[in-house]
Amino acid sequence: MDLKAIFPPSKGCTCSVCRDYCKRPGWWTVEQAESAISLGYANRIMMEISPDFNFAVLSPAFYGCEGFIATNEGFINGCNFLKNGLCELHNTDILPLECAFCHHERTGQGTLCHEALLKEWKTIKGQLLVKKWQDIVKLHSKL
């Protein structure tokens, strides 16, 4: 399934709602996360673990959670790719799909995008990438 075709990028917007979306890192597709790792961003990624501990997702990290596990405390720090109110990943192929899709005019549709990404991450390919990232950042030695 081509999630980029199903959830196309929104038009640019600087309203307070859309700018607030940028504080919370959106999820990549598995392919985008793989590209981010290949481009050397592994240490700026965090792992989000499902509440039931059955799977994990990689996303841009909160400040303080780089190369580690997402924490509730990190949430208040915002996305580490957001610098001076601007996203370093904007206009790149590795702008997370969820970030590109979300827009104040798409009320309620963000949930559909999030659920589709969730399904993609729950695959063998998604979980193998999580394991590869854990090895790259040596996550187990940090626990």
Domain span including residue 52: 3-142
CB hemisphere CA count around 24 (13 angstroms): 12
What pLDDT band is residue 18 in, cutting at 50, 70 and 90? confident
pLDDT of residue 21: 77
Residue 22 has, within 13 A of its CA and on its CB side, a CA count of 20
Q: Which pTM does this prediction carry?
A: 0.92
Per the structure, the count of domains in the chain is: 1
Mean pLDDT of the chain: 92
* Strand-strand pairing, 68-69 and 45-49: parallel
Beta bridge partners of 60: 45
Average pLDDT estimate for 63-84:
92
Q: Are 98 and 106 in contact (CB under 8 A)?
A: no
pLDDT band, very low/low/confident/very high, at 24 (cuts 50, 70, 90): confident
Q: Mind listing the pLDDT tens digit for each residue in 89-123?
A: 999 999 999 999 988 888 888 899 999 999 999 99
What does the alpha-carbon distance between residue 89 and residue 72 come to, in Å, rounded to a whole number? Answer: 23
* Of residues 19 and 91, more confidently modeled: 91
| pLDDT at site 1 | 75
Residue 76 has what pLDDT?
A: 87
**Pairing, β 82-83 against β 86-87:** antiparallel
Q: For 107, how many CA atoms within 13 A lie in the half-sphere containing its CB?
A: 2
Q: How far is Cα 104 from Cα 83, in angstroms, rounded to an integer?
A: 22
pLDDT at site 61? 97
Q: Work out the average pLDDT over 67-80.
A: 91
DSSP-based three-state secondary structure for 57: strand
> What is the predicted pLDDT for the residue at 116?
95
